């Protein structure tokens, strides 16, 4: 690599075109030898090559190079010479003086001079600031240690290459483009790389959750460790980096730490010169600053409140700047941005606003087998955003439609298939494109099914999607061809001839709850975006119906491994409180088996007075409900109740709510067993377990059934010889009495059968399906066969339940009472192990 000594100048060796004497031309001084500064000079030369004599100050000891291509240099795919934009000959050809390795440190606007670090003072007629941006370094302890670097220039690349020479561990902080490129390059250089990203989605500014998850999965498959939601606490080491500690206590070894958490416009020089500065150097539509003789361009500027970090807006700025200097009308009006990148060899594209929201419509195509995800966001029949992963070939077409604001209603149904498909004759009638396919055109790549085979299957009597899947297997595997198969059904039979299939989970998918649950378990899926991609969800992030269900199914399938996604819960579950019609909340602390103490009552009274709760009501579940709590007070309310040993009653949750009891044999003259004691054991053992729907229990001390056990999801009726266990009751709008499951002799057996029944319900019921309709759907005989007659299966179900309870997921406002379930789980946990 060729370096220039600091302060080295490359002067005019004889311009290629006739020009006025140098002293007669205006002097343009450019601060910044990067892509924006040099591009602005190129644009100006193209318009008027004789107007200015140019001096460029560069902080780096290099000619102008393509900073975007630093990643391939790090990865060993290119050399520095291959990424040079303007070589020495270019400067000489245009009579440009390059002062390399000697950055400007001061601007004197009155004297119209700039001062370089070497002390050199240079006068100007026009000044162009193109200082770019500065990397942001997280000010955590240890950030100044040797081995902590950024990723912005060739010096950073050289430092990374030197560190990678001996292999070892590296940590990249930041899961944006630069961070992922640094991680990719270091991995290729033989280092073991861990990427730490604060946000839950990689490249969240360019990608939505689904595409971000695909990117994460692909990078992990290439050997990187990706930790999202990772908050750095400190960088460890004495004189040099030895590791990174996260705020959750984890320590990751590292001899190199690359900070790639973001950039900030480099405005220090402009601010010290007294120019107007906001987030960036403020400019007008021709890149003129608050001083008419000072211009600015690139990442350092702020135009109309916006700062840009992408290349395309920079080029637009440079054109407007050059036109303004030669008195042409081409004002810069801001940029609609798109990003087409190859991240670690993976194609990604995004454009416009893909946040969606009210009034927007998402069109989504997922091809799990090929790792492809496409999403186009429409509003008023016009594209406002797009995200592509794996196949970005149509990105330019989508972006062109977006910029032009074209009405895409005529091609709405084929838009997602791309430009070639949309222009294949189906503009007036979307189905025409499918109808025009030849009989030998492949419809289902997974199973090798042609259009002719699908049509023949339909003609043979298949009148629904499921029937076609059963007949010829089209759409039976990955599902990406489902839309085309449905169009063939409609074309062949007419809209009225197509039979509706079974009820799907929601509008986002063609699969039902049972199919989704089965796929999660069989394919070992571990995240909501993975489920949506694998099963070809038709929306980018799901909806309020499917996200809570998927969150529950993953929680149930992966106890202790899957991290509960709080944003996929209903608001009451997130806040541990029930929202009321006036916007306030009610709070229900748990009272084990309906039994309380003076200390608990005192704690509740204190909360009522402290937070001015207007009502406290005794509930039907034998506890107290505190009404009128403001949302902002909920954390403090729960902190106060927790301090008194009281936890959430889950009165809002798809979980165990209450265990209603009578006083039983301890006090009642009719009581046959200690119903209160068993109720407390049940509640302490089963609380905090998320379920498909709310779940209520009761224990009555005798057949008089004062605790109403025979209208609960799980009820125990105590008799002289033991305990009758009842299931599937419901005391709501449609009252259903329980079915007798089994009679047992001991409390331990009652707990054991309860655990097995609850786990069967957790694993097989559909989300938002209570035990009553579940049992009516599958039959009591099935439940008895699994829980009563199959002893080995019963033990396995119970063991899985207690295992999941050992990882009970609860939020910080309602921590599990230490030792509350001590001794209940251990025997079956040991058996499970």
Question: In the predicted model, is pLDDT for residue 816 greater than 70?
Answer: no
**C-alpha to C-alpha distance for 751 and 755, rounded to whole angstroms:** 6
Q: Same structural domain for residues 426 and 447?
A: no
518: containing domain? 513-569
Is 577 within 8 Å of 626 (Cβ atoms)?
Answer: no
| pLDDT score recorded for residue 427 | 39
Over residues 796-823, mean pLDDT = 60
Q: HSE-up of 700 (CA within 13 Å, CB side)? A: 19
Does 444 show up as a binding residue in the annotation? no
| pLDDT score recorded for residue 479 | 55
**C-alpha to C-alpha distance for 492 and 418, rounded to whole angstroms:** 24
Q: Which alpha helices (DSSP H) does 501-545 contain, by range?
A: 513-523, 528-534
Question: In the predicted model, is pLDDT for residue 731 greater than 70?
Answer: yes
Going by C-alpha positions, the residue among 217, 229, 214, 164 that lies closest to residue 192 is: 164
| Of 228 and 358, more confident | 228
Question: Residue 798 belongs to a domain with what CATH number?
Answer: 3.30.413.10
Q: Same structural domain for residues 40 and 119?
A: yes
Q: Same structural domain for residues 107 and 228?
A: no
Is 63 within 8 Å of 70 (Cβ atoms)?
Answer: no
Q: Which two tokens stand for residue 93?
A: 């050809």
| pLDDT score recorded for residue 462 | 84
Q: Same structural domain for residues 254 and 172?
A: yes
Q: Which two tokens stand for residue 75?
A: 């990865």
What is the enclosing helix (H) or strand (E) of 601?
helix 598-610
Is 475 within 8 Å of 468 (Cβ atoms)?
Answer: yes
Q: HSE-up of 766 (CA within 13 Å, CB side)? A: 19
| pLDDT score recorded for residue 356 | 79
Other Cβ atoms within 10 Å of 431 Cβ, number:
14
Q: Tell me if residue 376 falls in helix, strand or coil.
A: strand
Does 472 show up as a binding residue in the annotation? no
Q: Same structural domain for residues 160 and 80?
A: no
The mean predicted confidence, pLDDT, of the chain is 86
Over residues 773-787, mean pLDDT = 93
Is 474 within 8 Å of 443 (Cβ atoms)?
Answer: yes
Q: Which residues contact 429 (CB under 8 A, 6 or more apart)?
A: none
Convert 550-568 to b/e letters by CB count within 10 Å (16 or more is b).
bbbbbbbbbbeebebbeeb
Q: Tell me: the pLDDT tens digits for 517-529?
A: 999 998 999 999 9
Question: Residue 428 belongs to a domain with what CATH number?
Answer: 3.30.390.30
Q: Enumerate the β-bridge partners of residue 73.
A: none
Q: Based on DSSP, count helices (H) and strands (E) in the chain, helices before strands.
A: 26, 39
- Residue 537 domain-assigned (yes or no): yes
Going by C-alpha positions, the residue among 719, 816, 727, 818 that lies closest to residue 776 is: 727
Three-state secondary structure of 117-165: CCCCEEECCEEEECCCEEECCCCCCCCCCECEEECCCHHHHHHHHHHHC
Going by C-alpha positions, the residue among 687, 692, 764, 681 that lies closest to residue 716 is: 681
Cα separations in angstroms, 59 against 1, 62, 68, 162, 827: 17, 9, 17, 22, 69
Q: Tell me: the pLDDT tens digits for 374-422?
A: 999 999 999 999 999 988 878 878 888 898 899 999 888 888 888 777 7
| pLDDT score recorded for residue 392 | 84
| pLDDT score recorded for residue 23 | 60
Question: In the predicted model, is pLDDT for residue 22 greater than 80?
Answer: no
What 103-106 contacts at long range (C-beta under 8 Å, 24+ apart), as own/partner pairs, is 103/31, 103/57, 103/58, 103/59, 104/31, 104/57, 104/269, 105/269, 106/269, 106/272, 106/273
| pLDDT score recorded for residue 476 | 59
Q: Same structural domain for residues 801 and 672?
A: yes
Question: In the predicted model, is pLDDT for residue 821 greater than 80?
Answer: no
Q: Tell me: the pLDDT tens digits for 551-575?
A: 999 999 999 899 888 888 888 888 8
**CB-count burial class (<10 Å; 0-12, 13-18, 19+) for 735:** exposed
Question: Residue 450 belongs to a domain with what CATH number?
Answer: 1.10.10.1100
| Of 647 and 821, more confident | 647
pLDDT confidence tier of residue 166, bands split at 50, 70 and 90: confident
- Residue 649 domain-assigned (yes or no): no
Q: Same structural domain for residues 619 and 729?
A: no
Q: Which two tokens stand for residue 639?
A: 């902190």
| pLDDT score recorded for residue 424 | 58
Give the number of domains in the chain. 7
| pLDDT score recorded for residue 448 | 57
| pLDDT score recorded for residue 391 | 86
Q: Same structural domain for residues 686 and 803?
A: yes
Lowest mean pLDDT among 65-74, 741-750, 785-794, 801-810: 801-810
Among candidate residues 643, 670, 696, the one where a domain is terminated: 643
| pLDDT score recorded for residue 322 | 94
| pLDDT score recorded for residue 830 | 35
Is 614 within 8 Å of 586 (Cβ atoms)?
Answer: no
Q: Which residues contact 747 (CB under 8 A, 6 or more apart)?
A: 677, 678, 681, 723
Q: Same structural domain for residues 74 and 98?
A: yes
State how far Cα 734 lies from the chain centre.
40
Q: Tell me if residue 48 falls in helix, strand or coil.
A: coil
Query: What is 611-677 written as a DSSP string?
Result: TT-SEEEE-TTSSEEEEEE-GGGHHHHHHHHHHTT--B--TTSSBEEEEEE--GGGT-TT--S-HHH
| pLDDT score recorded for residue 820 | 34
- Residue 508 domain-assigned (yes or no): no
- Residue 816 domain-assigned (yes or no): yes
**C-alpha to C-alpha distance for 573 and 744, rounded to whole angstroms:** 35
Q: What share of the chain is helix, strand, coil (3-state, %, to 5)?
A: 35, 25, 40
- Residue 648 domain-assigned (yes or no): no
Q: Which residue has the tokens 């009563």?
A: 788
Does 543 show up as a binding residue in the annotation? no
For the chain, state the CA radius of gyration. 34
Q: Tell me: the pLDDT tens digits for 609-636?
A: 999 999 999 998 899 999 999 999 999 9
Q: Same structural domain for residues 177 and 217?
A: yes
Lowest mean pLDDT among 483-492, 533-542, 706-715, 810-819: 810-819
Other Cβ atoms within 10 Å of 238 Cβ, number:
8
- Residue 202 domain-assigned (yes or no): yes
| pLDDT score recorded for residue 433 | 54
Q: Same structural domain for residues 820 and 689?
A: yes
Q: Which two tokens stand for residue 57?
A: 């100050």
- Residue 435 is given by DSSP the state H
Question: In the predicted model, is pLDDT for residue 445 greater than 70?
Answer: no
What is the enclosing helix (H) or strand (E) of 442?
strand 442-444
From start to end of 153-247, where are the E strands?
169-173, 192-197, 225-228, 232-236, 243-246
Is 532 within 8 Å of 366 (Cβ atoms)?
Answer: yes
Global pTM reads 0.67
| pLDDT score recorded for residue 501 | 61
Question: In the predicted model, is pLDDT for residue 343 greater than 80?
Answer: no
**CB-count burial class (<10 Å; 0-12, 13-18, 19+) for 494:** exposed
Cα separations in angstroms, 380 against 128, 331, 444: 42, 29, 32
- Residue 558 domain-assigned (yes or no): yes
Cα separations in angstroms, 432 against 409, 414, 428, 437: 15, 10, 8, 9
Is 651 within 8 Å of 625 (Cβ atoms)?
Answer: yes
State how far Cα 643 lies from the chain centre.
34
pLDDT confidence tier of residue 10, bands split at 50, 70 and 90: low
Among candidate residues 569, 586, 612, the one where a domain is terminated: 569
Q: Enumerate the β-bridge partners of residue 196.
A: 173, 227
Q: HSE-up of 791 (CA within 13 Å, CB side)? A: 1
**C-alpha to C-alpha distance for 396 and 340, rounded to whole angstroms:** 9
| pLDDT score recorded for residue 21 | 54
| pLDDT score recorded for residue 438 | 66
Among candidate residues 619, 643, 667, the one where a domain is terminated: 643
Q: Distance between the two ends of the chain, CA-based, in angstroms?
A: 60
Question: Residue 173 belongs to a domain with what CATH number?
Answer: 3.50.50.60
- Residue 504 domain-assigned (yes or no): no
Cα separations in angstroms, 713 against 482, 678, 692, 770: 39, 16, 12, 8
Q: Same structural domain for residues 127 and 275?
A: yes
- Residue 795 is given by DSSP the state H
Lowest mean pLDDT among 264-268, 311-315, 452-456, 532-536: 311-315
Highest mean pLDDT among 5-9, 17-21, 346-350, 455-459: 455-459
**C-alpha to C-alpha distance for 534 and 214, rounded to whole angstroms:** 10
**C-alpha to C-alpha distance for 797 and 554, rounded to whole angstroms:** 17
Over residues 680-707, mean pLDDT = 94
Does 668 show up as a binding residue in the annotation? yes
Over residues 105-129, mean pLDDT = 96
């Amino acid at each position: 690599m060729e370096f220039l000594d600091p302060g080295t100048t490359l002067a005019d060796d004889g311009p290629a075109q006739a020009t006025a004497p140098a002293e007669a031309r205006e002097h343009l001084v450019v601060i910044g030898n990067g892509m924006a500064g040099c591009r602005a000079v190129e644009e100006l030369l193209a318009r008027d090559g004789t107007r200015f004599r140019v001096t460029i100050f560069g902080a780096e000891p290099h000619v102008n190079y393509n900073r975007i291509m630093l990643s391939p240099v790090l990865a060993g795919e290119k050399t520095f010479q291959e990424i040079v934009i303007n070589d020495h000959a270019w400067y000489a050809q245009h009579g440009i003086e390059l002062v390399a390795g000697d950055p400007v440190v001061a601007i004197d606007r009155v004297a119209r001079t700039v001062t370089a670090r070497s002390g050199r003072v240079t006068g100007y007629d026009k000044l162009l600031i193109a200082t770019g941006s500065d990397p942001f370094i997280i000010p955590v302890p240890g950030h100044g240690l040797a081995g902590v670097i950024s990723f912005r220039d060739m010096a950073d690349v050289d430092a990374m290459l030197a560190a990678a020479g001996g292999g070892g561990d590296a940590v990249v902080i930041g899961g944006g483009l630069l961070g992922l490129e640094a991680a990719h390059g270091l991995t290729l250089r033989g280092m073991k790389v861990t990427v730490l990203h604060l946000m839950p989605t990689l490249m969240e500014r360019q990608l939505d959750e689904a595409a971000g998850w695909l990117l994460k999965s692909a990078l992990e498959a290439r050997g990187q460790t990706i930790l999202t939601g990772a908050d750095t606490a400190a960088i460890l080491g004495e004189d040099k980096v030895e590791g990174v500690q996260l705020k959750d206590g984890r320590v990751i070894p590292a001899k190199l730490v690359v900070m790639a958490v973001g950039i900030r416009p480099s405005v220090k020089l402009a601010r010290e010169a007294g120019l107007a500065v906001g987030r960036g150097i403020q400019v007008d539509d021709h890149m003129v600053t608050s001083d008419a003789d000072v211009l600015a361009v690139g990442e350092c500027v702020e135009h109309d409140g916006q700062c840009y970090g992408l290349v395309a807006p920079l080029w637009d700025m440079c054109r407007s700047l050059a036109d303004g200097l030669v008195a042409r009308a081409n004002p810069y009006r801001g940029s609609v941005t798109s990003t087409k990148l190859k991240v670690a060899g993976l194609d990604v594209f995004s454009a416009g606003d893909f946040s969606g929201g009210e009034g927007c419509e998402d069109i989504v195509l997922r091809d799990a087998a090929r790792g492809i995800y496409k999403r186009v966001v429409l509003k008023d029949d016009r594209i406002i955003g797009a995200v592509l992963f794996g196949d970005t070939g149509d990105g330019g077409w989508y972006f062109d439609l977006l910029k032009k604001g074209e009405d895409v209603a005529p091609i709405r149904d084929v838009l997602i298939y791309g430009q070639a498909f949309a222009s294949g004759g189906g503009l007036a009638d979307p189905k025409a494109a499918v109808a025009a396919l030849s009989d030998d055109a492949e419809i289902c790549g997974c199973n090798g099914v042609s259009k002719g085979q699908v049509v023949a299957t339909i003609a043979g009597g298949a009148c629904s999607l499921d029937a076609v899947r059963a007949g010829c297997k089209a759409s039976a595997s990955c599902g990406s061809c489902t839309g085309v198969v449905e169009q063939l059904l409609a074309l062949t039979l007419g809209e009225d001839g197509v039979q509706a299939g079974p009820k799907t989970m929601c509008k986002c998918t063609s699969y039902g709850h049972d199919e989704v649950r089965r796929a999660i378990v069989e394919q070992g899926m571990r995240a909501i975006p993975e489920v949506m991609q694998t099963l070809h969800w038709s929306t980018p992030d799901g909806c309020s119906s499917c996200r809570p269900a998927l969150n529950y199914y993953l929680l149930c399938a992966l106890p202790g491994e899957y991290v509960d996604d709080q944003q996929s819960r209903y608001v009451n579950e997130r806040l541990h409180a029930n929202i009321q019609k006036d916007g306030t909340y009610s709070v229900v602390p748990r009272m084990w088996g309906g039994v309380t103490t003076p200390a608990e009552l005192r704690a509740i009274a204190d909360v009522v007075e402290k937070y001015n709760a207007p009502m406290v009501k005794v509930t039907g579940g034998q506890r107290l409900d505190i009404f009128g709590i403001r949302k902002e007070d909920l954390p403090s309310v729960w902190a106060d109740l927790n301090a008194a040993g009281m936890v959430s009653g889950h009165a809002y949750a798809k979980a165990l709510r209450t265990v209603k009891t009578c006083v039983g044999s301890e006090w009642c003259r009719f009581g046959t067993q200690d119903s209160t004691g068993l109720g407390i054991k049940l509640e302490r053992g089963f609380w905090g377990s998320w379920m498909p729907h709310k779940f209520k229990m009761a224990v009555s001390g005798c057949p008089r059934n004062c605790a109403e056990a025979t209208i609960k999801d799980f009820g125990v009726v105590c008799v002289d010889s033991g305990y009758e266990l009842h299931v599937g009751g419901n005391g709501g709008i449609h009252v259903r009495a329980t079915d007798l499951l089994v009679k047992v002799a001991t409390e331990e057996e009652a707990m054991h059968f309860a655990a097995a029944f609850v786990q069967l319900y957790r694993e097989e019921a559909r989300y938002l399906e209570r035990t009553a309709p579940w049992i009516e759907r599958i039959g009591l005989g099935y439940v008895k066969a699994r829980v009563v007659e199959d002893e080995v299966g019963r033990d396995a179900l119970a063991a899985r339940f207690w295992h999941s309870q050992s990882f009970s997921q609860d939020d910080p406002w309602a921590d599990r009472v230490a030792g509350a379930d001590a001794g209940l789980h251990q025997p079956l946990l040991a058996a499970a192990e």
